[in-house]
Each structure stands twice: as C-alpha cells, then as structure tokens.
Amino acid sequence: GDSVTQMEGPVTLSEEAFLTINCTYTATGYPSLFWYVQYPGEGLQLLLKATKADDKGSNKGFEATYRKETTSFHLEKGSVQVSDSAVYFCALLRAAGTALIFGKGTTLSVSS
Amino acid sequence: GAVVSQHPSWVICKSGTSVKIECRSLDFQATTMFWYRQFPKQSLMLMATSNEGSKATYEQGVEKDKFLINHASLTLSTLTVTSAHPEDSSFYICSADRGQGDVDGYTFGSGTRLTVV
C-alpha cells in the first residue's frame, strides 16, 4: 500500500542553521504531496504542497520539490528560527476524497 | 479560506462515561470528513472516513461500537467515544474534504485532547 517515510527526529539546530528533513514515498500513480506543521497542543496546518512532478512548493521560507524519479519530497529552509520549532509531517494524497497518508513526523527544535 | 472548528479542545472524563467531539466546517460543505488519533510523539492514525448521510468506514482495528461517528449534515461530523477508558486517552483530530475533486489537501480541526481518569 501507499506509505510515507520521513527521517527520524528529533532534529536540533541553532538559529539561522540550514534545515533538511527527508521524505520519501511509495505510491501507485501520481499522488499529491504535502508538508504539514503541528505546533504543541494544536492541530495540523498546511505548510506547502505540490501536486505534480517537478513542482516546487514554498511557504514561509520553506521549500520542497516533488521528485518523481527519487520518489522524494524533502523539506528545506535556509535559515531556521526559534519559532519554527514544531513537528513536521510529510503526507501524500492518492486521490481526491481519500485520506491523507502521513509519515511519522519529525520534531524540530531550534535554539537561539 | 476553509475553516474547520473542532470542539471541545480538551476534555477530562471519568472512566465508563461517553464523550462527544464535534467537527464543523464553517465556510464550506464537507462531503467527507476524516478522523485521526494521535498518540504522544507519534503520527496520525486514521480511524475512520465519514461521508454525509452514510455510515462511516472504519480502519482495521478500530472498534466501531466504541468510536461512533455520525456525519448527519454537510457541515458537521461527530465522534463519540463510548464507555471511555484510560487507554482511550489521546489527541483526536478531524479533517474535512470540500469534495470538489480537491487534491490540494484538507483542512484540519485544532484537535481534542481527551483524558480519561
């Protein structure tokens, strides 16, 4: 079945460091790919998305490119801030009306 | 934008009682809603998919009689945890699909922290 694998955390960085969180997927067809962020005690917020191969999603300085050849959707940010500390989830959507499939989440902790 | 309201945000109940969690789409009609459960420091586990006016589809291993899901209207789905026990303590999150062939992702509620004592 479809699945998402993302790097284990926690990831601990100093402010202004470069961030990469790896995400790979297994799916039939051409799923849409997402990164969601969860702040402590809250629900999930959509961070960015890409719906087809080679699309680049971006938001708030975060970027991820849909790579069909490597079945990857790695999240990157050039300079993290303390406020970026949260749990990040990579997810895929096989088709409209079906459920999102999530990776296990990666906790990011940024210190000043 | 699409907003999903989930209530209550947290609830404490005694073992053996039932708790109802509501998930409302405020500015759109949600033909499909999804209910997830999240254990501490773990991913979201899909519990069930509910479609307006029909019975929910439960994932394998989820007890239908314990987790009652009702999707009576296009803007409201409810999850009732019946005869709750401490092992049901968890963070429950709903998400909603606008049903327009949308592959842009779904909107999530803010979650409900359930503690059974």
pLDDT tens readout for residues B29-81 = 888 999 999 987 778 899 999 988 888 999 999 999 999 999 889 899 999 99
Determine the pLDDT at residue B102.
67
Q: Which residues of B touch A97 (CB under 8 A)?
A: 31-32, 97, 99, 101
- Shortest distance between the Cα of B12 and any Cα of chain A, in A, equals 15
Q: Which residues of A touch B49 (CB under 8 A)?
A: 99
Report the residue of A5, A37, A44, A109 to disrupt the B interface, i.e. the one with the largest count of B CBs within 10 Å: A44
C-alpha distances in angstroms, B61 versus B52, B57, B58, B67?
23, 12, 8, 11
**CB contact at 8 A, B116 and B94:** no
Cα separation of B19 and B11, whole Å? 8
Q: Using alpha carbons, select from B89, B81, B83, B82 the residue that is nearest to residue B117.
A: B89
pLDDT, tens digit (0-9, with 9 covering 90-100), for B70-104? 988 989 999 999 999 999 999 999 999 877 776 67
C-alpha distances in angstroms, A44 versus A29, A37, A89, B12, B105?
26, 6, 9, 22, 11
The closest CB to that of B43, out of A32, A89, A97, belongs to A89
Q: Which residues of B touch A49 (CB under 8 A)?
A: 104-105
C-alpha distances in angstroms, A37 versus A17, B52, B70?
19, 28, 28
Mean pLDDT of the region A30-58? 92
> Is residue A102 less than 8 Å (CB to CB) from chain B?
yes
Q: How confident is the model at residue B112 (pLDDT cuts 50, 70, 90)?
A: very high
> Is residue B46 less than 8 Å (CB to CB) from chain A?
yes
Q: Which residues of B touch A64 (CB under 8 A)?
A: none
**Residue numbers of B between 52 and 91 with CB closer than 8 Å to A:** none
- Shortest distance between the Cα of A4 and any Cα of chain B, in A, equals 11
Q: Are strands A56-59 and A62-65 parallel, antiparallel or unpaired?
A: antiparallel
Strand, helix or coil at B75? Answer: coil
Asked if A43 and B93 come within 8 Å (Cβ–Cβ), the reply is yes
Q: How many helices (DSSP H) and strands (DSSP E) are in chain B?
A: 0, 11
